[in-house]
Amino acid sequence: MSDGAKPRKSKLCFSSSSSPSSSTLTLTLALKMARRFLLKPTLATLLLLLFFLYVLAHTLLSPSPSLPSSSITLPLSPVPKIYLYDLPPKFTYGVVRSYLRARDSPDPLDDADLRYPGHQHSAEWWLFSDLFSDARPASSPLRRTLDPDDADLFYVPFFSSLSLIVNPIRPPGDSAGGSTEYSDEGMQEELVEWLEEQEYWKRNRGRDHVIVCQDPNALYRVIDRLRNAVLLVSDFGRLQPYQASLVKDVILPYSHRINSYKGEVGVENRQSLLFFMGNRYRKEGGKVRDTLFQILENEKDVIIKHGTQSRVSRRMATKGMHSSKFCLHPAGDTPSACRLFDAIVSLCIPVIVSDYVELPFEDLIDYKRIAIFIDTNNAVKPSFLVSELTKISEERIVQYQQELKMVQHYFEYEHPNGTVNEIWRQVSSKVPQIKLMINRDKRLVQRGQDDHDCSCICSKGNATFSVKR
């Protein structure tokens, strides 16, 4: 710039990253105009000044426009609807009657007088009774519909676990008792043949159907033909990854066999350190039980007894669990067993030695807060279990008990907000995935009948870890 050149007045320039807000521009304009009019103090000037002051105050005090608040709630998704199949009675009440007749027990004339035999796999009875009831709570996560065209899900109420044990096991040569004409395998075949004739099963290859097979051996003969359905199971111990997974299926708790503990938390009335009562000799993963018996049966403050299911055994187990701080849960023939749930309702801290166990309601319950997990390799080391448990302080034991008490009702099938409600919540959560798979099926090219969908979470990828305090 030459010496004689006059400097240019700079212009205000704003980049996109530093552009002033509308409030700032309004304030600047108001101040400039106010200053200009103040040079000529007239009545009009005074009125204009008051006007600009009003605009200035309104601009500063009014909230700036913003994006819609994230607190705005979107419409809730409708409660999924479930249709209860009207199966031939032989698949429901007929199974109970066959069980009673095989034991020469009284057989009521009216279905309403039938009672499901005391049984750890009674989920099939509770779920059927809930859907069949006219007094279902409005808060249920699933709504029953009488119109199959309006249904999101279809419930198949076959008592598959009870069907397995209709014929009592008798010693060789003992032909006493009722009729043994009942065939569980025949019932399984008849069920699938009936289902495969149904329009709604054929429509989506059974993907939107819900079937209980809580006993690890239930429906074993036909499970391949039912694998698309939502299976309600206790674990995946005897199922292949292409048959069942955490993605499409639901883990059920066993029905506890002993009375719930109604007392307060604390260690004063729990004199034993560790308790277990059950069958010492099991197959497959349950072989660890015999090793644990050998290690623990002579340990101080440990009660470990061989026992089978009976009224006497249940009374002894109730007393033992209610008076012990910890309850051992080793694997059975499959990774899960009913004693885990007996321990939970007893407020007896479960010590789980089962490396591939699956647990119910894990989206709701953090089991590390209510149980201790010890891997099998460490558990079978002499003195390891007792040493680890004796390190846990009384204060920490009470904390475990308090957590157990908070979740106790989730394992009570008869509780109005208990197990049945939670199972239906889990089932309802599968609906979006079911719809995804149904729509996906529609656009896939033709595949072989035995092609497997690799869309599962393999349970054996899970691991347990040593106890941490």
Write down the pLDDT at residue 462.
42
Q: What is the pLDDT of residues 76-98, one digit of tens each?
A: 568 999 999 999 999 999 999 99
Least reliable range by pLDDT among 3-12, 256-265, 330-339, 445-454 = 3-12
**Higher pLDDT among residues 287 and 440, named by residue:** 440
Cα(144)–Cα(141) distance, integer angstroms: 10
Write down the pLDDT at residue 57.
56
pLDDT band of residue 292 (cuts 50, 70, 90) is: very high
pLDDT at 73 over 60: no
Show contacts of 289-296: CB within 8 Å, 24+ apart: 289/330, 289/331, 289/332, 291/380, 292/328, 292/330, 292/353, 292/379, 292/380, 292/385, 295/380, 295/382, 295/383, 295/385, 296/328, 296/385, 296/386
Instruction: Find the mean pLDDT for residues 1-14.
Output: 40
pLDDT at 44 over 90: no
Q: What is the pLDDT of residues 203-244, one digit of tens each?
A: 999 999 999 999 999 999 999 999 999 999 999 989 999 999
pLDDT at 378 over 90: yes
**Higher pLDDT among residues 40 and 425, named by residue:** 425
Residue type, 277: M
pLDDT at 9 over 70: no
pLDDT band of residue 47 (cuts 50, 70, 90) is: low
Q: Cα angle vertex 342, ends 261, 334, to 5°?
A: 170
Q: Give the helix ranges, DSSP H, for 82-235.
A: 93-102, 123-132, 160-164, 184-195, 199-204, 223-226
pLDDT at 419 over 60: yes
pLDDT at 14 over 50: no
pLDDT at 469 over 80: no
pLDDT at 465 over 70: no
Q: What is the pLDDT of residues 314-367, one digit of tens each?
A: 889 999 999 999 999 998 878 888 999 999 999 999 999 999 999 999 999 999
b/e per residue 301-324 (b: at least 16 CB within 10 A): ebbbeebeeeeebbebbbebbbbb
Q: pTM (2 decimals)?
A: 0.78
